[in-house]
């Protein structure tokens, strides 16, 4: 009879442990912030080290509309290390993003519904960063062309220093 009570207590303890462990795993999965995977292709970075995750939505919410940066991200065949600078004010409907010196300025969302991406891929061509692709969960994607500029070229301009404008001409 004591063995039956011990067996019953063991089953109850096992059931309680499974319930607690399952509840913990479920809560952790449900409440975990979504992670945006950042990777690169053809930039000379080994596939195993080319990816890392960023809790983009969580940072954007905590920053309250402020921009923030990450990096440096080493890209040996993509022009060297770069910093990723996320700005909520960047027009995600534009087809271009700016690379000013070693800082790549990126939007925090994309598409008509301004969704946060689930994956950001940096694409290199002929040894330089050429495009950035944002992908969403519903087969949404947007590809941005990378426009290069230097801080000296964009800093003192009256037109906001857009990278698409030609450099100023010297005046006599």
Instruction: Tell whether 161 is covered by a domain.
Output: no
Highest mean pLDDT among 24-28, 51-55, 83-87: 83-87
Q: Name the domain count of the chain.
A: 2
Host domain of residue 5 = 1-32
For residues 22 and 47, state if they share a domain.
no
Within-domain flag for 163: no
Q: Per-residue pLDDT for 169 more than 60?
A: no
Cα separation, 84 vs 59, in Å, equals 14
Predicted confidence at residue 129, as pLDDT, reads 86
Whether residue 109 sits in one domain with residue 48: yes
Burial classification of residue 45, based on how many CB atoms lie within 10 Å of its CB (0-12 exposed, 13-18 middle, 19 or more buried): buried
116, part of any domain: yes
From residue 76, how far is each of 43, 73, 100, 152 by CA, in Å? Answer: 7, 10, 18, 24
Shared-domain flag, residues 63 and 131:
yes
**Do the domain assignments include residue 171?**
no
95-139 tens-digit pLDDT: 899 999 889 999 988 888 888 888 888 888 887 888 999 998 778
| Residue 90 lies inside a defined structural domain of this protein | yes
* Largest CA-CA distance found in the chain, in angstroms, rounded: 106
Residues 65 and 141 in one domain: yes
My answer on whether 6 and 77 are in the same domain is no
Percent of the chain clearing pLDDT 90 (strictly above) = 13
Q: What is the CA radius of gyration of the chain?
A: 24
Measured distance CA(172)–CA(169) in Å, rounded? 10
Burial of 115 (0-12, 13-18, 19+ CB in 10 A): middle
> What CA–CA distance (Å, rounded) separates 168 from 5?
88
Q: Is the pLDDT of residue 44 over 80?
A: no
Q: How confident is the model at residue 52 (pLDDT cuts 50, 70, 90)?
A: confident
pLDDT of residue 103: 92
Q: First vs last Cα of the chain: how many Å apart?
A: 106
Does 69 share its domain with 110?
yes
């Amino acid at each position: 009879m004591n063995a039956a009570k011990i067996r019953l207590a063991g089953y109850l303890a096992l059931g309680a442990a499974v319930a607690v462990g399952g509840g913990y795993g479920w809560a952790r999965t449900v409440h975990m912030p979504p992670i945006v995977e950042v990777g690169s292709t053809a930039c000379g970075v080994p596939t195993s080290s080319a990816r890392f995750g960023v809790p983009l939505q969580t940072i954007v919410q905590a920053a309250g509309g402020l921009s923030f940066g990450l990096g440096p991200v080493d890209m040996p065949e993509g022009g060297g290390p770069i910093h990723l600078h996320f700005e909520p004010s960047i027009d995600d409907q534009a087809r271009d993003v700016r690379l000013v010196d070693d800082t790549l300025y990126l939007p925090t969302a994309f598409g008509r519904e301004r969704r946060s991406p689930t994956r950001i891929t940096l694409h290199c061509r002929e040894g330089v960063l050429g495009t950035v692709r944002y992908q969403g969960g519903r087969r949404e994607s947007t590809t941005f062309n990378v426009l290069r500029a230097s801080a000296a070229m964009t800093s003192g301009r009256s037109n906001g220093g857009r990278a698409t404008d030609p450099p100023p001409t010297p005046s006599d």
